[in-house]
Structures are given as structure tokens and as C-alpha cells.
């Protein structure tokens, strides 16, 4: 009744105050929820980085529905006014129709006003003054600070950079609180208190975001083909999905792997995927988990799944494998794979996963896996360029009635995604969604790397940065039609994904400065790209100029690092020759996260002859770009790039 009344009223603006994390997922999540509930949304303000979104919706019930699913919106307010200055704000609030305000400020309604500031702590006296300034509103009810019917919020936004907080806010809003988002689920479903977890259990927040992108609703069938410990099933079941999961790892499904919790020595008998659902009272949504090879899924070829949500192993913390052996011939589609990386391992080596699992240091992980490959007993050729290592998980015989355990071979990432897409094309219902993570090496990434299938349409592609060099992208595909006869197996996957593991471990050997150089290629990661910064730039033209200089200098640092690797061999040769002179250039590097620091570059050239050890020194000032050019034109080889603690880069150059 009240809803229909409100629906007749004109559309209103709502301020969605968002969590300041997973920024790339914010809009896709909102769009996905809105389309799931058929909520018409008009986007009024959609800043790229600032933690708010302003939308127009037809009624408050729609706003509440949106909030009932959103993980990335903290709170929703009916926007009464906004402005960049106090005058603008108050004139804006005054022009908000009185008939929209009055019902909430009527004599029978208690009210309270809260003042909040983003990125600043306000004094009580300041807050009071701001509340007093709202006295022109037609308040008629009584104040109730505990259980007010109407909560007005006065929000000030001081940008995203905690190191340069402006004296006056960039933006001010006044709104009536409508609903909270679902942020509390993050704590309630935290992996810290989860019954059964493994090394790659999905973080609760991301799992919920994934289920939102997949539009899981009550009564739907959800499947996770790389189920692991079932962390995604928990979120899907919470929204009412009925969940199936499968995985090739017998030990994981039977909760017999080495515990990943720091203090835990043994798996408890109560640990299982089903127990994770029971923990939250969701057992009625549990269908089954089965041990199954994704290269050979044995499901009946009918469209019975409404959403496939999964996180395939990348070969870093969990190995990618399928059943197979060198000794037998395999389908033609895997021929290429066979020639490069078919190492059959009959070791009773169950430790590969678990050792890599517990290590957080990627360099160590690399060493571990390498040693494992070398211990293969029936290895034919250990090809060092293969993208995945071969491991066999050989469960203890008491867990199964069968005595034979199939050997497993590596399953390249390209094939993983290809099989996943083909599976989705057959088994999803029309409109059903496939949501999965695609690990990418950031430098290599381009849109062509996103797997595609003629029956699946790309909905969203959001990046989560993992390390300076790699990230994973959450890909959401929607099934638009059933495949025809030949279309069942034509998923298109760029070959590049197969190289992810190799690139990942190469990158883990990078020096700190090579890392920084890569980091500067992706300035979007940096904080402070929000409204605050944009305004600051416009105000101060000199800072803009400095940012340009900064960009150039960063380029030169990259070039320097490239040169370092390129000339490694020459350096080795040069090491044996008498060093005639050394040119040293000192480059003061940029502040880590801040582009707007002034740049000072000094170049010192030092010539040392071996015989008389006479030194001559030239000092000059130049931009870094020039420094590098002059160094390279002099036919010099960069000898060593190292750092000192002040964050300076010293490049030694041999003439």
C-alpha cells in the first residue's frame, strides 16, 4: 500500500555511500542487482573513484531492494541536497520539495541529525554548528537519539588522500537515511570463523559479490566446477541458491588435506563442505559435491544450471590438473598439450599442494614446485617452459574402495577456461550466468584475452589487483542461446592465459625497482585519483606540470630497468675486462604513491681510470629523461641498478 503510494510520486535521487574498496566492482554489482530485480535506475553521478554514487529511482521500495543485496554500498540516503559549498548545499536543501520532507518531520515522528565526515575527524562543536544550520527545516517532532523514526545525515567528503586533507570539504550532502547495505555479511561469513577452509577459499565479500554478479536468487541451481572448500557455495546458498560442486581433488572434498589454519595440526572429523553450509543454517540448499575431472564432466547434457560461479586454480597455490597419462593416446584437442607438458608422476607425493598452500612468499613457492617436478619418477622430459607443474595427489587407500588412483597431468589454463565455457554453453539455462576469475599478467593483458563463446555474452569484466605485476579479472558472461550441434565445443581462449604461471614466477624474481617501474604503468591503482585530486589539479596548474614531468621520469625508470635485463650478458663479459671508468647517475625516485611531488634530478658523472686512480667529476642537472638519453648515446652499458635506503636509484654505467 505505502509502496504503491510512493511509486506514484516522482522519482527521487538517492545517495549510495559506498565502501572504499573493490572500486571496479561497484557499478557492475549495482547494475547486476538492479537488472535482477527489474529496478529502473537513472545514473546521476557515477564518479570513478569517490566513494559515492547518486542514482534516481522510482520508489523507496526499489532502493531497499537494491540495498538488500549490495555488498559494496554501505548506506543509502534519500538525497535532500548537495553542494560544493555550504551556501550551495543549503539552497539546494531549501529547494527540495517540502511535501517530500514533511511526512518525515511530522509531529508524530521522532528524528535525529548525524554529521559525518569522510577522511576527516570533526570536532563536536563543529558538528553542532552544522546541525544548527539546518534549523530552517520544518522539524515538528521530538528528538530521539536512540530510535529515531527519521535519521538525517549531513555528510562531508574530504577526498581520498589522508595526507592532504583540505580545510573545506569537496562535497557536502544532506539526506534521509533509508537502508544499510549488506556489509555486515562480511563479518558474519568471515573465513576466520568458517568451519572448513583451504588455501584458496574465497573471501566472503568477493564470494558475495560474485553471487550478485551471477544474480543468484531463491530456488535456482548454482554450480561450482572447482569447488575446493565450498566457499562460493556458502554465499550462493545464502541467497537461496541450491548448490552443486565438484572438483578433481578427492582429498579436498573429503576434507583430508593438510589444515591451512595456522594453529591447526589435524583436520577435524566435522570439517566438510556440507558442514560449512550447516554452520550458517543453509544445509537445505546443499545438493551434493562429487569428485570429477573438469576436462571430462559427466553431467547429463541438458541445461539445468542457472548460474556457474567459480574460481579455477591458476597453478600458483593450487595446481591445475586433469586425469591423463603419457602411455595412452588422448583426444586430438589435447595433442598440443601432450607434446609439451605431459609428465606422468607416480610419486606418492601429496605434499605439493600443501607446501605451496602454506607459503605466502611466492618465491619460496616457486622453489618448492620446481623441486617437485624434478622428483618425478617416470618423467620423460622436464620441459622448463611448461606452464604448470605436474603433480599427483595420491590419497590414502582407506578413503576409497578402489585401489587405483588415476595419474594426473597438467591442465593448461587455456584448456581450463575452454572447457569451462563449453560446459557453461551446454548446461546453463538461457539467461544463466557464468562468473569466474581470469588470472592475468598485467603487462600482457588486452581485451582479446577474455575467453569467449558464441552462446555467451560478456556482461562485466572487473579487475582485482593482486600484486604489482599480476591481477585477476572477474568475468561475467550470460548465456544468450543454446548451442547448435557443432557449437558445443568452440570456446575461444587466447593462448596467453597459459603463460600466466610462468610469467608469475619470473616476476617474483624482479627487483624492487623493476616492480616500481611496473607499478608506475598502472597509475589507477594509486589512491587519490578521486574528486579531491581532480579539483586540486585544476586549482594548481604548476602541479599539473609536475605530474607531466613525473610521468616522463617514470618512463625513463622503466627504460632503465629494461636496459638492465637486456644487458645482463654483456655485463658478465665486461666484468672480466678492466673497468676504465664509471659513470654514475643518481636519480631521486618518486614518492611511492604521490605523483605531485616536485622532481629534482641530478646527474653526477664520475670517471675513474685504473692506473692513476684520478677522478674527475662532472655534475649537471637534467631531467631524468635527458640523463638516460645521454647515457645510452654514449654507448654505455648499465652495470648495476641498486638502491639505497632513501629510495634513490643508483645506476652504475661502464664505459
Partner 1 sequence: MKLITHNMLTSKGIKNVKEGFPLKIQADEVKNVDIDFDQDFISKMVPKLDWNALIFAAQCVGHKEDLPDTLPEGYENDEDLLRKLHHILLEVEVINGCLECPETQRKFPISNGIPNMLLNEDEV
What is the spatial distance between Cα 95 and Cα 100, in angstroms, rounded to a whole number?
11
Q: Which of 74, 171, 242, 478 binds partner 1 (CB under 8 A)?
A: 242
Please check whether residue 436 is in contact with residue 488, taking contact to mean a CB–CB distance below 8 angstroms.
no
Q: Which of 6, 183, 330, 652 binds partner 1 (CB under 8 A)?
A: 330
- Does residue 635 interact with partner 1 by CB under 8 A? no
Contacts of partner 1 in 191-220 (CB under 8 A)? 218-220
**Cell numbers given for 449:** 584475452
Nearest distance from residue 328's CB to partner 1, in Å?
5
Buried b (16+ CB within 10 A) or exposed e, 494-506: bebbbbbbbbbbe
> Of the two residues 289 and 560, which places its CB atom closer to partner 1 in the complex?
289
- Does residue 420 interact with partner 1 by CB under 8 A? no
> Of the two residues 38 and 329, which places its CB atom closer to partner 1 in the complex?
329
**635 torsion bin: left (phi>0), alpha (psi -120 to 50), beta (else):** left
- Does residue 292 interact with partner 1 by CB under 8 A? yes
Closest by alpha carbon to 444, among 498, 403, 408? 498
* Other CB atoms within 10 A of residue 436 CB: 26
Tell me phi and psi for residue 157, to 5 degrees: -115, 115
> Of the two residues 156 and 293, which places its CB atom closer to partner 1 in the complex?
293
- Does residue 619 interact with partner 1 by CB under 8 A? no
Interface with partner 1 by CB under 8 A: which range of 46-54, 257-265, 286-294, 473-481? 286-294
What is the spatial distance between Cα 18 and Cα 629, in angstroms, rounded to a whole number?
46
Between β-strands 305-310 and 428-441, what pairing exists: parallel, antiparallel or unpaired? Answer: parallel
Burial class (CB in 10 A: 0-12, 13-18, 19+), 652: middle
Q: Which of 44, 165, 186, 287 binds partner 1 (CB under 8 A)?
A: 287
What is the spatial distance between Cα 159 and Cα 171, in angstroms, rounded to a whole number?
9
- Does residue 280 interact with partner 1 by CB under 8 A? no
- Does residue 407 interact with partner 1 by CB under 8 A? yes
Interface with partner 1 by CB under 8 A: which range of 150-158, 320-328, 348-356, 567-575? 320-328
* ∠ CA 389-395-399, rounded to 5°: 155
> Of the two residues 324 and 532, which places its CB atom closer to partner 1 in the complex?
324
Nearest distance from residue 205's CB to partner 1, in Å?
27
- Does residue 485 interact with partner 1 by CB under 8 A? no
Nearest distance from residue 582's CB to partner 1, in Å?
59
What is the spatial distance between Cα 191 and Cα 265, in angstroms, rounded to a whole number?
18
**Cell numbers given for 486:** 557443432
Nearest distance from residue 238's CB to partner 1, in Å?
15
Q: Looking at the DSSP assignment, which residues form a beta bridge with residue 93?
A: none
Q: Which of 8, 10, 328, 614 binds partner 1 (CB under 8 A)?
A: 328
> Of the two residues 339 and 402, which places its CB atom closer to partner 1 in the complex?
402
> Of the two residues 174 and 221, which places its CB atom closer to partner 1 in the complex?
221
- Does residue 332 interact with partner 1 by CB under 8 A? no
Count of positions on this chain that bind partner 1 (CB under 8 A): 42
- Does residue 158 interact with partner 1 by CB under 8 A? no
Nearest distance from residue 299's CB to partner 1, in Å?
5
What is the spatial distance between Cα 273 and Cα 276, in angstroms, rounded to a whole number?
5
> Of the two residues 254 and 519, which places its CB atom closer to partner 1 in the complex?
254
DSSP tag of 141: S
Tell me phi and psi for residue 261, to 5 degrees: -70, 140
Residue with cell 609439451: 340
- Does residue 411 interact with partner 1 by CB under 8 A? no
Q: Which of 91, 187, 380, 399 binds partner 1 (CB under 8 A)?
A: 399
What number of CA atoms fall less than 13 Å from residue 554's CA on the CB side?
A: 23
Question: Taking the chain, what is the end-to-end CA distance rounded to the nearest angstrom?
Answer: 85
Buried b (16+ CB within 10 A) or exposed e, 513-543: bbebbbbbeeeeebebbbbbbbebeeeeeeb
- Does residue 406 interact with partner 1 by CB under 8 A? yes
> Of the two residues 236 and 560, which places its CB atom closer to partner 1 in the complex?
236
Interface with partner 1 by CB under 8 A: which range of 37-45, 104-112, 288-296, 378-386? 288-296
- Does residue 402 interact with partner 1 by CB under 8 A? yes
Judged by DSSP in three states, 353 sits in helix
Nearest distance from residue 372's CB to partner 1, in Å?
19
Between β-strands 470-479 and 428-441, what pairing exists: parallel, antiparallel or unpaired? Answer: antiparallel
- Does residue 290 interact with partner 1 by CB under 8 A? yes
Q: Which of 60, 82, 161, 293 binds partner 1 (CB under 8 A)?
A: 293
Judged by DSSP in three states, 92 sits in helix
Closest by alpha carbon to 287, among 327, 322, 246? 246
- Does residue 298 interact with partner 1 by CB under 8 A? yes
Q: Which of 37, 304, 445, 522 binds partner 1 (CB under 8 A)?
A: 304
Tell me phi and psi for residue 76, to 5 degrees: -120, 135
| H or E, element range at 544 | helix 541-566
Nearest distance from residue 242's CB to partner 1, in Å?
6
Nearest distance from residue 217's CB to partner 1, in Å?
10
- Does residue 325 interact with partner 1 by CB under 8 A? yes
Nearest distance from residue 513's CB to partner 1, in Å?
47
What is the spatial distance between Cα 246 and Cα 240, in angstroms, rounded to a whole number?
19
Residues lying near partner 1 in the complex (CB under 8 A) are found at: 218-221, 242, 244, 246, 248, 250, 253-254, 274, 283-284, 287-293, 295-300, 302, 304, 323-325, 327-328, 330, 399-402, 404, 406-407
Amino acid at each position: 500500500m505505502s509502496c504503491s503510494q510512493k511509486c506514484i510520486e516522482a522519482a527521487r535521487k538517492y545517495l549510495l555511500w559506498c565502501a572504499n574498496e573493490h572500486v571496479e566492482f561497484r557499478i557492475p554489482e549495482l547494475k547486476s542487482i538492479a537488472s535482477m530485480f527489474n529496478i529502473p535506475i537513472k545514473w546521476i553521478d557515477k564518479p570513478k573513484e569517490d566513494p559515492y554514487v547518486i542514482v534516481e529511482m522510482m520508489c523507496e521500495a526499489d532502493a531497499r531492494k537494491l540495498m538488500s543485496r549490495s555488498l559494496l554500498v554501505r548506506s543509502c540516503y534519500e538525497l535532500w541536497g548537495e553542494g560544493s559549498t555550504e551556501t550551495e548545499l543549503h539552497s539546494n536543501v531549501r529547494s527540495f520539495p517540502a511535501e517530500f520532507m514533511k511526512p518525515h518531520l511530522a509531529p508524530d515522528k521522532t528524528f535525529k541529525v548525524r554529521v559525518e565526515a569522510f577522511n576527516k575527524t570533526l570536532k563536536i562543536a563543529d558538528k553542532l554548528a552544522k546541525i544548527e544550520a539546518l534549523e530552517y527545516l520544518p522539524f515538528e517532532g521530538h528528538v530521539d537519539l536512540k530510535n529515531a523514526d527519521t535519521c538525517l545525515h549531513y555528510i562531508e567528503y574530504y577526498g581520498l588522500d589522508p595526507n592532504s586533507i583540505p580545510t573545506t570539504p569537496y562535497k557536502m550532502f544532506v539526506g534521509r537515511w533509508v537502508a544499510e547495505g549488506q556489509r555486515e555479511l562480511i563479518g558474519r561469513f568471515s573465513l576466520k570463523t568458517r568451519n572448513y577452509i583451504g588455501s584458496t577459499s574465497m573471501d566472503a565479500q568477493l564470494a558475495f559479490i560474485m553471487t550478485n554478479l551471477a544474480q543468484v536468487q531463491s530456488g535456482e541451481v548454482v554450480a561450482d566446477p572447482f569447488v575446493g572448500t565450498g566457499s562460493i557455495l556458502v554465499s550462493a546458498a545464502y541467497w537461496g541458491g541450491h548448490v552443486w560442486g565438484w572438483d578433481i581433488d578427492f582429498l579436498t572434498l573429503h576434507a583430508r588435506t593438510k589444515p591451512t589454519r595456522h594453529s591447526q595440526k589435524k583436520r577435524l572429523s566435522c570439517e566438510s563442505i556440507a558442514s560449512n553450509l550447516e554452520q550458517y543454517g543453509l544445509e537445505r540448499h546443499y545438493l551434493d559435491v562429487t569428485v570429477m575431472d573438469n576436462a571430462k564432466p559427466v553431467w547429463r547434457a541438458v541445461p539445468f544450471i542457472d548460474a556457474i560461479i567459480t574460481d579455477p586454480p591458476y597453478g600458483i597455490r593450487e595446481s591445475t590438473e586433469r586425469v591423463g597419462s603419457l602411455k595412452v593416446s588422448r583426444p586430438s584437442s589435447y595433442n598440443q598439450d601432450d607434446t609439451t607438458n605431459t609428465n606422468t608422476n607416480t610419486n606418492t607425493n601429496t605434499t605439493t599442494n600443501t607446501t605451496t598452500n602454506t607459503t605466502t612468499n611466492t618465491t619460496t613457492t616457486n622453489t618448492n614446485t620446481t623441486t617437485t617436478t624434478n622428483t618425478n619418477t617416470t618423467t620423460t622430459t622436464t620441459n622448463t617452459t611448461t606452464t604448470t607443474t605436474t603433480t599427483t595427489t595420491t590419497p590414502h587407500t582407506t578413503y576409497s574402495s578402489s585401489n587405483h588412483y588415476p595419474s594426473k597431468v597438467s591442465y593448461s589454463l587455456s584448456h581450463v577456461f575452454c572447457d569451462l565455457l563449453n560446459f557453461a554453453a551446454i548446461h546453463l539455462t538461457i539467461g544463466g550466468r557464468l562468473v569466474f576469475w581470469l588470472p592475468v599478467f598485467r603487462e600482457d593483458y588486452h581485451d582479446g584475452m577474455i575467453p569467449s563463446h558464441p552462446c555467451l555474452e560478456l556482461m562485466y569484466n572487473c579487475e582485482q589487483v593482486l600484486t604489482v605485476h599480476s591481477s585477476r579479472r572477474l568475468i561475467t558472461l550470460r548465456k544468450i542461446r543454446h548451442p547448435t550441434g557443432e557449437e558445443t565445443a568452440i570456446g575461444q581462449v587466447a593462448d596467453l592465459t597459459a603463460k600466466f604461471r610462468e610469467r608469475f614466477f619470473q616476476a617474483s624474481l624482479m627487483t624492487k625497482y623493476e616492480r616500481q617501474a611496473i607499478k608506475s604503468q598502472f597509475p589507477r591503482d594509486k589512491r587519490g585519483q578521486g574528486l579531491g585530486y581532480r579539483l586540486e589539479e585544476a586549482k594548481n596548474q604548476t602541479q599539473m606540470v609536475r605530474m607531466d614531468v613525473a610521468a616522463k621520469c617514470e618512463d625513463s625508470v622503466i627504460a632503465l630497468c629494461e636496459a638492465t635485463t637486456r644487458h645482463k650478458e654483456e655485463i658478465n663479459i665486461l666484468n672480466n675486462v678492466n673497468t676504465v671508468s664509471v659513470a654514475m647517475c643518481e636519480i631521486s625516485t618518486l614518492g611511492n604513491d604521490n605523483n605531485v611531488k616536485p622532481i629534482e634530478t641530478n646527474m653526477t658523472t664520475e670517471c675513474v681510470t685504473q692506473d692513476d686512480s684520478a677522478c674527475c667529476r662532472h655534475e649537471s642537472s637534467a631531467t631524468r629523461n635527458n640523463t638516460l638519453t645521454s647515457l645510452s648515446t654514449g654507448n654505455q652499458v648499465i652495470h648495476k641498478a641498486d638502491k639505497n635506503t632513501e629510495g634513490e636509484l643508483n645506476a652504475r654505467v661502464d664505459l
